Amino acid sequence: MNNVIFLTGGTGFIGTQIARRLIKEPNNNIVVLIRASGEQSAKLRLSRAWWDWQDLRNNIGKGIQIVRGDVSKPNLGINSTVYNELVQKITHIIHNAADLLVNAPIDELRKTNVQGTANVLELAQAVHKDHRLIRFSHISTAYVAGGRTGLVPEDALTDEYGFTSAYELSKYEGEKLIREAKNNLPISVFRPGMVIGDSKTGAIKTFNTIYFPLRLFLTGISQLT
């Protein structure tokens, strides 16, 4: 049996690494949701995001299908015919898309992190009703704990301790929707912390915090004092 895995957030670092692992299995077919103005621009955007990963780029149009859409829109912004086709063939959903701008306005963050999650859950419910969804994997964040300190049990999702940013609040609200759907869907929740890069190869996609001055130093543009 072939798996058809619907992946959101496939252009990000985590989404890219998920896709790399999935494509190694010959019975996996991946459907990647890409926000773009047209089919060609969607392919171009994904190819650019995966530029360093030839194994992925070689599979675009083969084991990897691109679907143009937007998680924040009804039916994920997908053409109705294509949406219905996906409902009939999807076996797994990995929801990784997120707005990561920590201090963006909460209403902007909610478009992707809350409404987007609700829209992906709606797709999951339709798939499950049609032929049973095997697994819904939600990539959350350790920061749904907000201002809580010490040990945080995985089932202790609460807003009791407040949040230090709008991002944390929006991700909490999104995971709350996921938790509410667990009685009806086969759901797994993953909470990574701050992802810098690959722990084995050292590969980094986004250079921020200390990594930007380090890059300047290593390229001889600047010197650390």
Smallest CA-to-CA distance from 205 within 9, 8, 11 is with 11
Question: For residues 200 and 206, what is the distance between their CA atoms, to the nearest angstrom?
Answer: 17
Least trusted range by pLDDT, from 20-24, 56-60, 68-72, 101-105: 101-105
Alpha helices in the chain (DSSP H): 13-22, 39-49, 54-57, 80-89, 106-110, 116-131, 166-180, 211-218
**Residue 222 pLDDT > 90:** no
**Residue 64 pLDDT > 60:** yes
pLDDT in tens, 5-26: 999 999 999 999 999 999 999 9
**Which pLDDT belongs to residue 224?**
42
Q: Residue 115: helix, strand or coil by DSSP? A: helix
Running DSSP on this structure, what letter comes out for residue 112? I
First to last CA, the chain: 59
Q: Residue 157: helix, strand or coil by DSSP? A: coil
- Overall size of the chain counted in residues: 225
Contact, 163 vs 169, CB < 8 A? yes
* Domain boundaries of the chain, sorted by first residue: 3-194, 198-225
**Which pLDDT belongs to residue 142?**
92
Which CATH number applies to 3-194: 3.50.50.60, 3.40.47.10, 3.40.50.800, 3.40.50.720? 3.40.50.720
Helix, strand, coil abundance in the chain, percent, nearest 5:
40, 15, 45
95-107: buried (b, 16+ CB within 10 Å) or exposed (e) per residue? bbbbbeeeebebe
Residue 206 binned pLDDT confidence (cut-offs 50, 70, 90): low
Computed over every residue of the chain, the mean pLDDT equals: 90
Contact, 7 vs 34, CB < 8 A? no
**Exposed, middle or buried, 40 (CB in 10 Å: 0-12/13-18/19+)?**
exposed
**Residue 200 pLDDT > 70:** no
| Residues ≥6 apart with Cβ < 8 Å to 65 | 29, 30, 31, 32
pLDDT in tens, 130-188: 999 999 999 999 999 999 998 888 888 999 999 999 999 999 999 999 999 999 999 99
